[in-house]
């Protein structure tokens, strides 16, 4: 097996050993020290692919999974997946190092934490390195499940449970929609491979299912990456421990939707629908997140909405850049491809400065006992290192030099200005809105960045409002945000190193034809002269600075918006009404009456099966090939009917068991008549064992006594019984008289040659359906053990 597969499976394998390591070494040795080496080794391993991918090569490894269904576990490393893999492993290493000092080995269930974290990490690797869409979907849903467990890590808190449930409901909904889109896409392209879909692009784009598949896949991407209006789950997910927030909500899980959009841009990009949906939803999310971040009083809530805003920025860039696929080879394609490059660049930048900020906010909470901005202030002299790290992260997020966020923000302004001037897609009339929304959102981004920095560290120190005496964090807790903050500065001064080895290969993965055209050269510079983008930045700083200083005077405007129309309230109302409706419906049919439940089941059977036979012309009788029924067989059938009917009228359990056993033995006689002695023998053994088990169970039950009286006639029972009998009879006769396919018995006639078995029934049970039979035996054994355990428990209880 390739080392690549082992790399993806390592987190899952290691998750199995974490509880044993925790039990053996905790609390003497923090469990995180053992887990730390997993992402670190993977990160080092992925580094070796950088020069390979930079040359334009692609690493492809395939392991057959379900080859008959064309489902294979295919791992695929190109420039795009490599960037995400490095982020998952690199930030994961720093998060685990940070968590060692953040989470107490004495007070926390660290084995649960690191098991969930390893499951999530492995699932993310599976998402970004999978080429098969069905395998990708399996890992995609595993990220939702593991993130649910991580968010609910402090399950004793109501907020954690609420946030975890909300995130799972929304992301699972999107995942199911995405699965439907994947199925439609596979129907259009006749393949499950993303690479092959791109090759068969012409057939996909001309198909009638193109738009439905696009919308369904985008639903999966938007829910996972917290795009409007699905962004409501992200702020509530902040109830998770800060290491989780730093990992899931800055560098990994919320970027999965971004990855999906990037990966499927070669398929759907170039269409007006993809351009408008992705870019407009991204811009709305950018504005929505920045507006809401300004009014937050909790530092993690502020970062949550800032993450929503930044994700919207990246998403909008992928939408704007997708228009490059609309144009042919030439300067226009290269012009708009810059938006894709900017999206990938800002994705990396965001992971560095936002990961650092989340960790610093965790430090502030850890060392002061609060995240409430109204209680903080004056920490600049008490926590100088934390202040420096916050300054770097917040200024980078605001788009100020000399930090990497300035470079990608300037490139963002360039992209929106170019998009507003392009021809086509009705941009002549609507194009002006794109840079306008981008600029307004950037102003509010500047404001919340200043709130984060100055409201926390400057002003009056309020020790009486803090949960504990404030002090600087230990070096171990500071080390991870220091590394990320250092990258923020290093990338600013050396962006083209990153561009050459990572950004350009990723751009070619999203826009394959750009590499072929040879007209696009990646070059990032901090200075482009006195251009429109620079004036837009100066306007952001000027207007944002004034609005920050006058914050108290205009912030009350947020109260104008009706509370009842907020997305969270609409979600809560929807959940509440759904629960009420489901409870009302459930109370109608869950009455506790077994008779009513059986009536529901049998009526459904009659309507579905009988209705299908009637409406689809499935009723067909052909008795020309039937063998004649002998007098002995007729007598045997009459005896079976009399035996079955007698069970209804007896008052003794012993008598009813004997009659049921007789009925089973009469069925075995039919098998003897039809020359199936081994099947008859099997039936006899099963009937004997079943009867013995019934006797064992009923031995400990009270006598029926007067509980069973004369069976009264009920019209409902008669109608349902008659309907079921009629439906099954018609189905059996119709199946016997209709042959749509060759009978499968012809395949099993060669059982001796295929399986070495002289009896066809034994061959089917033991060889052809061996696993199925094994599982059935296991179920019977488990049921038997369960019955035995219940009996033993009851006997012990009666003895006491």
Q: What are 730-775's pLDDT values in tens digits?
A: 888 887 767 667 777 777 777 777 777 777 777 777 777 778 888 8
Q: Provide mean pLDDT across the span 704-715.
A: 62
Backbone angles phi, psi at 130, to 5 degrees: -90, 135
Q: Which of 308, 255, 303 is nearest to 283 (CA)?
A: 308
Q: How confident is the model at residue 798 (pLDDT cuts 50, 70, 90)?
A: low
What whole-number distance in Å separates Cα of residue 35 and Cα of residue 99?
11
What whole-number distance in Å separates Cα of residue 264 and Cα of residue 315?
13
Helix (H) / strand (E) element for 74: namely: strand 71-77
DSSP state string for 408-473? HHHHHHHHHHHHHT-SSTTHHHHTTHHHHHHHHHHHHHHHHHHIIIIIHHSS---GGGSSS---PP
Selection from 64-78, 184-198, 784-798 with the highest mean pLDDT: 184-198
Helix (H) / strand (E) element for 71: namely: strand 71-77
SS (H, E, C) 689-713: HHHHHHHHHHHCCCCCCCCCCCCCC
Q: Provide mean pLDDT across the span 558-563.
A: 80
Is residue 543 scored above 80 in pLDDT? yes
Digit-coded pLDDT (tens) for 488-516: 999 999 998 898 889 989 988 888 876 55
Instruction: Quote the percentage of the chain above a pLDDT of 90.
Output: 39
- Note whether 340 and 265 are within 8 A (CB): yes
Q: How confident is the model at residue 1 (pLDDT cuts 50, 70, 90)?
A: very low
Per the prediction, the chain carries an average pLDDT of 86
Question: How many other β-carbons are positioned within 10 Å of the β-carbon of residue 531?
Answer: 13
- 239-256: string of b/e by CB count within 10 Å (b at 16+)? bbbbbbbbbbbbbbbbbb
What whole-number distance in Å separates Cα of residue 396 and Cα of residue 492?
10
What are the boundaries of each domain within the chain?
Answer: 3-549, 553-590, 599-761
Is residue 445 scored above 90 in pLDDT? yes
- Fold held by 599-761: 1.20.120
Q: Which of 362, 353, 442, 439 is nearest to 394 (CA)?
A: 353
SS (H, E, C) 503-567: HHHHHHHHCHHHHHHCCCCCCCCCCCCCCHHHHHHHHHHHHHHHHHHCHHHHHHHHHHCCHHHCH
| Burial class of residue 307, CB neighbours in 10 A (0-12, 13-18, 19+) | buried
What whole-number distance in Å separates Cα of residue 745 and Cα of residue 123?
43
Is residue 711 scored above 50 in pLDDT? yes
Instruction: Quote the percentage of the chain above a pLDDT of 70.
Output: 94
Q: What does the pLDDT read at residue 329?
A: 45
């Amino acid at each position: 097996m390739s080392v690549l597969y082992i790399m993806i499976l390592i987190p899952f394998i290691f998750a199995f050993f974490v509880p044993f390591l925790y039990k053996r070494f905790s609390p003497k040795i923090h469990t995180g020290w053992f887990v730390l080496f997993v992402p670190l080794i993977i990160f080092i391993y992925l580094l070796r692919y950088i020069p390979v991918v930079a040359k334009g090569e692609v690493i492809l490894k395939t392991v057959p999974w379900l080859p008959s269904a064309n489902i294979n576990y295919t791992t695929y490393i190109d420039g795009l997946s490599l960037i995400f893999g490095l982020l998952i492993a690199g930030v994961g290493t720093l998060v685990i190092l940070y968590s060692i000092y953040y989470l107490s080995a004495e007070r926390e269930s660290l084995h649960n934490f690191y098991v969930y974290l390893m499951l999530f990490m492995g699932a993310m690797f599976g998402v970004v390195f999978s080429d098969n869409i069905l395998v990708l979907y399996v890992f995609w849903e595993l990220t939702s499940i593991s993130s649910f467990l991580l968010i609910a890590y402090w399950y004793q808190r109501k907020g954690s449970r609420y946030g975890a449930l909300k995130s799972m409901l929304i992301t699972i909904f999107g995942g199911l929609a995405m699965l439907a889109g994947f199925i439609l896409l596979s129907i259009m392209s006749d393949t499950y491979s993303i690479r092959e879909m791109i090759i068969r692009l012409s057939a996909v784009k001309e198909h009638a299912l193109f738009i439905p598949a696009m919308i369904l896949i985008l639903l999966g991407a938007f829910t996972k990456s917290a795009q409007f209006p699905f962004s409501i789950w992200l702020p509530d997910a902040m109830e998770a421990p800060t290491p989780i927030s730093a990992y899931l909500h800055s560098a990994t899980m919320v970027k999965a939707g971004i990855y999906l959009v990037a990966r499927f841009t070669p398929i759907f990009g170039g269409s007006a629908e993809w351009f408008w949906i992705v870019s407009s939803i991204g811009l709305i999310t950018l504005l929505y997140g920045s507006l809401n971040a300004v009014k937050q009083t909790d530092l993690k809530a502020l970062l949550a909405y800032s993450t929503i805003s930044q994700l919207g920025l990246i998403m909008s860039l992928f939408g704007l850049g997708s228009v490059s696929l609309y144009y042919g080879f030439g300067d226009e394609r290269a012009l708009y491809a810059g938006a894709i490059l900017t999206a990938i660049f800002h994705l990396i930048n965001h992971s560095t400065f936002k990961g650092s900020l989340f960790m610093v906010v965790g430090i502030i909470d850890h060392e002061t006992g609060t995240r409430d901005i109204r209680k903080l202030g004056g920490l600049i002299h008490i926590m100088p290192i934390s202040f420096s790290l916050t300054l770097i992260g917040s200024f980078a997020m605001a788009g100020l030099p000399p930090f990497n966020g300035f470079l990608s923000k300037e490139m963002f302004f360039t992209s929106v200005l170019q998009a507003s001037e392009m021809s086509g897609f009705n941009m002549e009339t609507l194009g002006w809105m794109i840079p306008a929304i981008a600029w307004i959102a950037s102003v509010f981004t500047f404001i919340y960045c200043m709130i984060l920095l100055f409201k926390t560290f400057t002003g009056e120190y309020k020790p009486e409002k803090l949960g504990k005496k404030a002090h600087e964090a230990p070096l171990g807790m500071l080390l991870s945000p220091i590394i990320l903050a250092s990258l923020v500065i290093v990338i600013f001064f050396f962006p083209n190193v990153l561009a050459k080895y990572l950004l350009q290969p990723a751009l070619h993965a999203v826009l394959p034809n750009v590499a072929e055209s040879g007209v696009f050269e990646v070059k990032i510079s901090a200075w482009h002269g006195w251009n429109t983008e620079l004036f837009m930045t100066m306007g952001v700083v000027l207007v944002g600075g004034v609005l920050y200083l006058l914050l108290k005077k205009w912030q009350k405007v947020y109260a104008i918006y009706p509370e009842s129309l907020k997305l969270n309230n609409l979600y809560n109302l929807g959940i509440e009404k759904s629960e009420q409706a489901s409870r009302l419906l459930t109370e109608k049919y869950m009455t506790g009456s077994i008779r009513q439940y059986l009536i529901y089941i049998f009526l459904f059977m009659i309507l579905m099966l009988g209705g299908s036979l009637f409406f689809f012309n499935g009723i067909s009788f052909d008795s020309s090939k039937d063998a004649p029924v002998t007098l002995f067989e007729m007598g045997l059938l009459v005896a079976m009917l009399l035996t079955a009917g007698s069970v209804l009228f007896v008052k003794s359990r012993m008598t009813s068991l004997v009659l049921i056993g007789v009925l089973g033995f009469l069925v075995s006689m039919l098998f003897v008549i039809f020359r199936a002695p081994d099947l008859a023998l099997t039936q006899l053994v099963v009937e004997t064992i079943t009867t013995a088990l019934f006797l064992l169970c009923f031995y400990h039950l009270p006598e029926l006594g007067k509980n069973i009286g004369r069976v009264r006639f009920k019209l409902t029972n008669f109608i349902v019984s008659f309907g079921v009998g009629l439906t099954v009879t018609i189905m059996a006769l119709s199946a016997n008289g209709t042959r749509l396919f060759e009978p499968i018995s012809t395949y099993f006639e060669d059982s001796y040659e295929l399986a070495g078995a002289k009896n066809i029934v034994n061959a089917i049970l033991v060889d052809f359906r061996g696993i199925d039979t094994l599982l059935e035996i296991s179920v019977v054994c488990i049921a038997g053990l369960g019955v035995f355990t219940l009996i033993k428990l009851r006997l012990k209880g009666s003895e006491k």
